[in-house]
Structure 1
Amino acid sequence: MTFRFTVLTTASALALSVSAAQAETDWPTRTINVIIGAGPGGDTDFNTRTMARYFEQITGGSMVVTNMPGGGATIATSAVKDADPDGYTMLFGHTGHLIVTEVSGLADYGIDDFEICCIPGIDQGAVFVASAQSGITSIDELVARTDAEPQSVVFGTEFGGYSHLQGTIFQQETGADMRVVDTGSASDKIAALLGGRIDVGGIAYGAIQDYHTAGQMVVLGQPNETRNELLGDIPTFAEQGVDFVMNNPYIIAFPKGTDPEIVAKMEDIMRQITEIPEYAADLEQGFKQPVSFLAHDAAMERLNAIRDTYMPFREVLQSAR
Structure 2
Amino acid sequence: MTFKTLTALSAIAVCFIGTAAMAQTDWPQRTINVIIGASPGGDTDFNARTMARYFEEITGVGMVITNMPGGGATIATSAVRQADPDGYTMLFGHTGHLIVAEVSGLADYGIDDFEICCVPAIDQGAVLVASASSGLTSVEDLQAAEPGSVTFGTEFGGYSHLQGLIFQEGAGVEMNVVDTGSAAEKIASLLGGRIDVAGIAYGAVQDYVEGGQMVVLGQPNDERNALLGDIPTFKEQGVDFVMNNPYIIAFPEGTDQAIVDKMGEVMEQITENPQYAKDLEQGFKQPVAFMPKEEGVARLNEIRDTYMPYSDALQASR
Instruction: Please give the TM-score of this superposition, normalised by the length of structure 1.
Output: 0.93
1:162 maps to 2:156:
no
Aligned-pair CA distance for 1:22: 2.7
**In the TM superposition, what whole-angstrom CA distance separates every residue of 1:257-302 from its partner, at most 9, and x where no partner exists?**
0000000000000000000000011111111111110000100111
Q: State the alpha-carbon separation in 2 of the partners of residues 135 and 75 from structure 1.
A: 39
Identity between Structure 1 and Structure 2 (%) = 74
Equivalent position amino acid for 1:124 in 2:
Q
Aligned-pair CA distance for 1:168: 0.2
Q: State the alpha-carbon separation in 1 of the partners of residues 192 and 38 from structure 2.
A: 22
Equivalent position amino acid for 2:92 in 1:
F
**1:9–1:165 CA distance, 2 compared to 1 (3 A):** same
Equivalent residue number for residue 284 of structure 1: 281
Q: State the alpha-carbon separation in 2 of the partners of residues 188 and 48 from structure 1.
A: 22
Deviates more, 1:136-145 or 1:270-279: 136-145
Equivalent residue number for residue 94 of structure 2: 94
- Report 1:185-204 matches (<5 A): 185-204=182-201
Q: Any unmatched runs of 5+ in structure 1? A: 1-6
1:316 maps to 2:313:
yes
Equivalent residue number for residue 264 of structure 2: 267
Equivalent residue number for residue 66 of structure 1: 66
Query: Residue 84 of structure 1 aligns to a residue in which SS?
Result: coil
Q: State the alpha-carbon separation in 2 of the partners of residues 200 and 15 from structure 1.
A: 64
Q: State the alpha-carbon separation in 2 of the partners of residues 209 and 319 from structure 1.
A: 33
> Of 215, 220, 224, which aligns to 2:217?
220
Equivalent position amino acid for 1:161 in 2:
G
Aligned-pair CA distance for 1:14: 8.0
Query: Residue 49 of structure 1 aligns to a residue in which SS?
Result: helix
1:174 maps to 2:174:
no
Moved over 2 A (4+): 7-24
- Taking only aligned residues, the RMSD between alpha carbons, in angstroms, comes to 2.1
Aligned residues: 315
Q: State the alpha-carbon separation in 2 of the partners of residues 201 and 172 from structure 1.
A: 16
Equivalent residue number for residue 79 of structure 1: 79
1:124 maps to 2:124:
yes
Equivalent position amino acid for 2:103 in 1:
V
Equivalent position amino acid for 2:234 in 1:
F
Aligned-pair CA distance for 1:9: 11
Equivalent residue number for residue 106 of structure 2: 106
Equivalent position amino acid for 2:126 in 1:
A
Q: State the alpha-carbon separation in 2 of the partners of residues 70 and 186 from structure 1.
A: 13
Q: State the alpha-carbon separation in 1 of the partners of residues 278 and 170 from structure 2.
A: 35
Query: Residue 233 of structure 1 aligns to a residue in which SS?
Result: coil
Equivalent residue number for residue 242 of structure 2: 245
Aligned-pair CA distance for 1:24: 2.6
Query: Residue 35 of structure 1 aligns to a residue in which SS?
Result: strand
Query: Residue 169 of structure 1 aligns to a residue in which SS?
Result: helix
Equivalent residue number for residue 44 of structure 1: 44
Q: State the alpha-carbon separation in 2 of the partners of residues 169 and 154 from structure 1.
A: 15
Q: State the alpha-carbon separation in 2 of the partners of residues 314 and 24 from structure 1.
A: 40
Equivalent residue number for residue 54 of structure 1: 54
Query: Residue 101 of structure 1 aligns to a residue in which SS?
Result: helix
- Report 1:117-156 matches (<5 A): 117-145=117-145, 148=146, 150-156=147-153
- Report 1:23-42 matches (<5 A): 23-42=23-42
Q: State the alpha-carbon separation in 2 of the partners of residues 244 and 308 from structure 1.
A: 16
**In the TM superposition, what whole-angstrom CA distance separates every residue of 1:228-270 from its partner, at most 9, and x where no partner exists?**
1110010110111111111111100000000000000000000
> Of 230, 234, 238, which aligns to 2:231?
234
Equivalent position amino acid for 1:41 in 2:
G
- Report 1:3-14 matches (<5 A): none
Q: State the alpha-carbon separation in 2 of the partners of residues 230 and 275 from structure 1.
A: 18
Q: State the alpha-carbon separation in 2 of the partners of residues 133 and 9 from structure 1.
A: 80
Equivalent residue number for residue 3 of structure 1: none
Q: State the alpha-carbon separation in 2 of the partners of residues 259 and 58 from structure 1.
A: 21
Aligned-pair CA distance for 1:11: 8.8
